[in-house]
Structure 1
Amino acid sequence: MNEQKIARINELYHKSKAEGLTEAEQKEQQILRREYIDSFRQNLRSQLDQISIQETDGSITNLGEKFGNKKGN
């Protein structure tokens, strides 16, 4: 998600509060919001997949390998 798309999301939000949106603008807003949420989730998942923890026995467990490839994530 680039800065132009985020700026457009904000622009549409402010316009919706001030004067309302046309049907096409509402559809564009929904698409951009969905893209933003999907991008956020993907970035968060990527960060979480990089986490490793040290177990009490001293072994290292990579949580991305252990949990990251499950369906539904």
Structure 2
Amino acid sequence: MLSKEKLARISELSKMKKAGTLTTEQAKEQTALRQEYLDTFRSTMRDTIENVRVFDPSGEEVTPEKLRQKQSKNLN
């Protein structure tokens, strides 16, 4: 997860952009911070999805085969 300081900075830069006071250097910083945020989010989401098991109402596991293969690969 991104630090609170970085998230606050993203918000601050966003407000500056809306106000029209964002400099070129700050725009580059904003782009880099947003990319770091997206990379972190995607990584966390991928880890979460790769550890999910799906069960139907009768209790049978119905996790898609592709996901099962990925999970067993991660265990090794």
TM-score normalised per structure 1: 0.74
| Structure 1, unpaired ranges of 5+ | none
Alignment match, 2:69:
66
Alignment match, 2:47:
46
**CA offset digits 1:51-71 (Å, max 9, x no partner):** 123489x567586552467xx
| Structure 2, unpaired ranges of 5+ | none
- Percent identity (aligned): 32
**CA offset digits 1:5-33 (Å, max 9, x no partner):** 00000000001111321111000000000
With over 3 angstroms needed to count, the CA separation of the structure-2 counterparts of 1:17 and 1:59, relative to structure 1, is closer
Aligned residues: 68
Q: Aligned runs of 1:31-42 on 2, under 5 Å?
A: 31-42=32-43
Question: How far, CA to CA, are the matches of 1:60 and 1:19 in structure 2?
Answer: 51
Alpha-carbon RMSD across the aligned residues, in angstroms, is: 2.7
* Greater helix content: 2
